[in-house]
Amino acid sequence: MQLKIALEWFLNPDHLPLIAGVVSGKYKVAGLEVEIIEPKEHYDGFDSLQKGEIDIHINEPLHLFEHYNDDLRSLGCFFETRGGVMIRKESIKKLQNGGPLKITTPAANPITNKIGFEILSRYAQKNGFELNSEDVTFVETDFYHIANMKKDPSFDGAWLCFYNFEGVEAEIEGFEHLFIDQFESPYPNFSALEMMSSQKVIEKKQEAIKKFIHNTAEMSRYLANNKEEAKEIYYAYTKESPSELMDKIIEDTLHRFLPHIQADGEKWYDLYKFLELLGIVTLDSAQYDKIWHT
């Protein structure tokens, strides 16, 4: 049976279990024809899912709430990393003095800006100082955070950073920084990838989806113990030239895949309450519970 899987962004090592499932023939042995689709925009998969054009969408868990509809269902989380705001070393004192701060980000909009500021604000409160929202400016650029900060010294930091990418790159580049994640600022982590589908698709392709989840989890466990093969699979599939940076990103990413994939509303409840507090989402208990039950 065919399964169309829409990603959240461009293909990268976060998607290695899916890539490995295709390359190894694991899905095909299970009777699945899996097609991996890269979107043009971050939220394309939600629209495609509602239109019945795809079977599974992969995106961050916060979007389960932000893009809620009665048909949307979680299949489970398969990857979780550290994510947050990176502040260059030279701007740490500036941060502690209350700014002003200029932050590069691939997505500057009212929702992502509000979350980014909240992370900084909670870090400030934890460390005995204050930040005002008017003193933090988010500038939309792209995902090349460290390159952008090196090119433009006026950028004090970057938002929507992920440790298995920017943290690893900073180590290789010798870029000194403060990485403000959930361990530095008291907020629930949401830097993860959740598999999502619709009740309509699940009813139609339930057995195929179960096989897909089982084999993807199996690939996650396998890759964690076979890092050199993981690199070979990634480079062969993406046609990307091997590099020291990508090797290190892959190595760091492998231990972030979860060995078991299952819908878990308890895992993301604190995240939901965080988004509710910020006025980003509002669901009643029945709507929240519906997400996790097929």
pLDDT in tens, 140-198: 999 999 999 999 999 999 999 999 999 999 999 999 999 999 999 999 999 999 999 99
User: What is the fold of 2-80+191-290?
Assistant: D-Maltodextrin-Binding Protein; domain 2 (3.40.190)
Question: Per 3-state DSSP, what percentage of the chain is helix, strand, and coil (rounded to 5)?
Answer: 45, 20, 35
Question: Is the separation of the CB atoms in 161 and 82 below 8 Å?
Answer: no
The CATH H-level (homologous superfamily) assignment of domain 83-180 is: Periplasmic binding protein-like II (3.40.190.10)
CA–CA separation, 178 and 184 (whole Å):
9
CA–CA separation, 240 and 234 (whole Å):
8
Question: Is the separation of the CB atoms in 11 and 37 below 8 Å?
Answer: no
Least confidently predicted of 43-52, 58-67, 157-166, 269-278:
43-52
pTM of the model: 0.94
Residue 294 clears pLDDT 80, i.e. is over it? no
Domain ranges in the chain? 2-80+191-290, 83-180
pLDDT on residue 221: 97
Q: Which residue has the tokens 């933090």?
A: 136
Residues 101-117: tens digit of each pLDDT:
999 999 999 999 999 99
- Topology alike, domains 2-80+191-290 and 83-180: yes
∠ CA 107-11-237, nearest 5°, is 165
Residues 6+ apart with CB under 8 A from 120: 85, 95, 101, 131, 136, 180, 185
Q: Tell me, what amino acid is at 91?
A: S
Residues 156-171: tens digit of each pLDDT:
999 999 999 999 999 9
pLDDT on residue 20: 98
Residue 56 clears pLDDT 80, i.e. is over it? yes
Rg (CA), the chain: 19
∠ CA 269-274-277, nearest 5°, is 125
Q: Whole-number mean pLDDT of the chain?
A: 96
Residues 6+ apart with CB under 8 A from 294: 73, 199, 202, 206, 263
> 199-224 and 227-238 helices cross at what angle (nearest 10)?
130
